[in-house]
Amino acid sequence: MKVLEGKSVFSGIAIGKIQVWKEETDQVKRVHVPDRNQELLRLEEAKEKAIEELKKLYHKAEAETGSSEAEIFEVHQMMLDEGEYIEDIKSRIRTESVNAEYAATAAGEHFADMFRKMDNEYMQERAADIQDITKRLVRVLSGEKKNRNVIQEPVILVAQDLSPSDTILLDKDKILAFVLKKGSANSHTAILARAMNIPALIQVPFSDDIEGSRAIVDGEKGKLFLDPDKEFLEKYTKEQVAEQEKQKLLAAFKGKETITKGGRRIKLFANIGSGEDIKAVLSNDGEGIGLFRSEFLYLGKEQLPTEEEQFQIYKDVALQMGDKKVIIRTLDLGADKQAPCFQMDKEENPAMGCRGIRLCLEHPQVFKTQLKAILRAGIYGNLSIMYPMITSAWEITKIKEILKEVKLELQEEGKPYKDLEQGIMVETPAAAVISDLLAKEVDFFSIGTNDLTQYTLAMDRQNEKLESFYEPGHEAVLRLIRMVIENAHKAGIWAGICGELGADTRFTEEFVKMGIDELSVSPARILPLRRLIRSMDED
């Protein structure tokens, strides 16, 4: 038996035969064209056909996954319809008199390389988007039908990487697990795996000769076992059956209160990254949304989203969730999240730079646009606003001044709105230490344990070399959390946790004893946490 190690994207056990995804390797030739206008016309016709294909993919993704996969095809349409990518192709045809296939390929390589060289992981993943739309455009131009990999039976799908288009066109009933040699937690395959609740590994160093091998994927340990012996296979088969039974038992907790045996009530909410994730929240019986990340409206976009665009999205979320609370976090860009529409300056230490509320206060008009959209959407549901990266009381004072201006502008414009509950994320030691002062200014606290741990331990949480030093449950972090909860309650407001630590069952009982009022976690963690909390004796 051979064991290959990678990184886990989604846990679970899969057992089956491996199928290796075959990469397309067709070379595009450079051809001189005498009539550049005719070539530009060919490009325009191919572009329109490709956009039509993408529209169909969007509707397929939206219907099948209920995840962020659908949104990416809208982005692809915009990239083909206008912007620097398509203009670069046209420029190459005009200046070099080359065929559209070659111009598209050259432009695609240029932009993909540009994205790969960026420091931000999210932006590096956009190289896959460029490659995907380039393949589509070249295929339409050449009039060729794509030679797709055929999956005839349930398999563990192994690939170098998968494009968004390839991923969404897969027959989901025939995918037992994903194993990628490349990829990241932000890749489209990773997003889909989480939406489908199937095991997935990335950065696994496999070779193509594993085609057809019997294998086991352990999504918890991040391992791929090739050609296991009978005894090892039986062991994992039993574990898989036990895991499946556990999932069935969890379904029994749907519709039940998240309450301890002693009568202590905990609100169990979900963290989501876009409106498409609401399906997962509802299917896992989330009691609300404790963290609605609004960055997806800005990331990868050349233009800032308008008030109306944002209003429609927030309104849709509010309507889908009905009476359930939805906490929208205002724009939290900076550090590891960069957006072209902002063109932020390069910083020596971005994690401690102009990010979160600092960026919003530096760009008050952008901030106002978002606040207007949220306040307007508030009349359609149970919305709250949460501000990230607060470190001082004066920031809250400034926010209130801007909020007052926003309300006056909405009144003058004749747009109805609703006054909403206001809260802050406590994710810096500074905010935790002065939480007694901050609690007097807001309606709730939500503790962002990811950044709180990073800043408390003076440790970059994305630095792989520091993994052995990184302690999410460090006593210093736990003391700060306890302090925040106590200060919140003294001021008569509630406190929750929306970071990864909130889903770590090693600390759930301790958080409940501290008096935590709410835990906001990924949708898939809601039912396991409910089962655990209902077994506790705390009152």
- Active-site amino acid positions: 188, 498
Reduced to 3 states (helix: H, G, I; strand: E, B; else coil), residue 226 is strand
Stated as kind and residue range, the H or E segment containing 317 is helix 307-321
CA distance 432 to 391: 9
CA distance 373 to 386: 14
The 3-class SS string of 24-80 reads: CCCCCCCCECCCHHHHHHHHHHHHHHHHHHHHHHHHHHHHHCCCCHHHHHHHHHHHH
Output the CA torsion 370→375→379→385 (10° steps). 90
Q: List Cα–Cα distances, 381 to 123, 445, 450, in angstroms.
A: 33, 21, 29
The tokens for 238 are 């039993």
15 contacts: CB under 8 Å, gap ≥ 6: 176, 215, 216, 217, 233, 236, 237, 240
Output the CA torsion 524→424→367→399 (10° steps). 170
**Count of Cβ atoms closer than 10 Å to residue 434 Cβ:** 17
Rounded to 5°, angle at Cα 351 from 443 and 119: 135
CA distance 390 to 185: 27
Sign of CA dihedral 279, 58, 202, 85: negative
Which 8-state DSSP code applies to residue 109? H
Phi, psi of 100 (to 5 degrees): -60, -35
CA distance 123 to 141: 28
CA distance 422 to 445: 9
Q: List Cα–Cα distances, 283 to 188, 255, 293, 328, in angstroms.
A: 21, 11, 19, 20
> Which of 102, 84, 89, 119 is closest to 33 using CA atoms?
102
Burial 518-539 (b: 16+ CB within 10 A, else e): bbbbbbbbbbbbbbbbeebeee
> Which of 529, 282, 256 is closest to 516 using CA atoms?
529
